[in-house]
Amino acid sequence: MLSTDKANWLERNCHYFRDCPFYLARVLPFLLFAIGLLRLALEGNAARTVQRRAFQQAAGV
């Protein structure tokens, strides 16, 4: 059963919980935020690696 309002939302009791637009609307912002943080962390690590290699080359290590 697809409900059009949150008052009748069955949450985890619904068989189609994972495909539910209400569930996706609640989870999607958190997923996008987590992906953004991961991307920033990876970009930061890449930048630090490049800086470290440049420093090592300049120092003759």
**Domains in the chain: how many in total?**
1
Residue 2 has pLDDT above 60, yes or no: no
The string over 35-53, giving b where at least 16 C-beta atoms fall within 10 Å of a residue's C-beta and e elsewhere, is eeeeeeeeeeeeeeeeeee
Locate 58 and state its tokens: 């300049």
Asked if residue 28 lies in contact with residue 21, where contact means CB atoms within 8 angstroms, the answer is: no
Record the pTM.
0.45
CB atoms closer than 10 angstroms to residue 24? 11
pLDDT of residue 21: 75
**Model confidence at 57, in pLDDT bands (50, 70, 90)?**
confident
pLDDT of residue 31: 84
Asked if residue 33 lies in contact with residue 26, where contact means CB atoms within 8 angstroms, the answer is: no
Tell me the residue range of the domain where 11 lies: 6-59
Residue 39 has pLDDT above 80, yes or no: yes
Q: Does residue 17 belong to any structural domain of this protein?
A: yes
Locate 22 and state its tokens: 């209400």
